[in-house]
Amino acid sequence: AQKITQTQPGMFVQEKEAVTLDCTYDTSDQSYGLFWYKQPSSGEMIFLIYQGSYDEQNATEGRYSLNFQKARKSANLVISASQLGDSAMYFCAMRERRDDKIIFGKGTRLHILP
């Protein structure tokens, strides 16, 4: 069954440090996509980064990178040089090709400390 697990309910990180948000997943589909979204306190959902199951290189988007370890079924988000504006909820999500269903993890609340 399709499943996303985020084991860190909350994290506190000093400004300018790098931070890794954990995400593990479970699927029997060979073709799938993994996504990260940011939800600031204002409530909107912001797409950050995507990784396909057949992509050989880790995805990067500016300060965001996705550490994809297929054999371990993990897709951790790495934020380099964290900023105060990175304080938000972060959600990992997965989409399987076979049925178009997209499910989310429970999220991690990230607090960046000045």
Partner 1 sequence: NAGVTQTPKFQVLKTGQSMTLQCAQDMNHNSMYWYRQDPGMGLRLIYYSASEGTTDKGEVPNGYNVSRLNKREFSLRLESAAPSQTSVYFCASSETRGFSPLHFGNGTRLTVT
Q: Please tell me whether residue 107 binds partner 1 under the rule CB under 8 A.
A: yes
Radius of gyration of the CA atoms of the chain, in A = 14
Residues 24-53 that bind partner 1 (CB under 8 A): 32-33, 35, 37, 43-45, 47, 50, 52
Asked if 4 and 10 touch (Cβ cutoff 8 Å), the reply is no
Nearer to partner 1, 25 or 107 (CB): 107
Neighbours of 42 (CB within 10 A): 7
Residues 66-105 that bind partner 1 (CB under 8 A): 91, 93, 95, 97, 99-105
CA-to-CA distance for 5 and 66, rounded, in angstroms? 16
Residue 67 CB, shortest distance to partner 1, in Å, is: 18
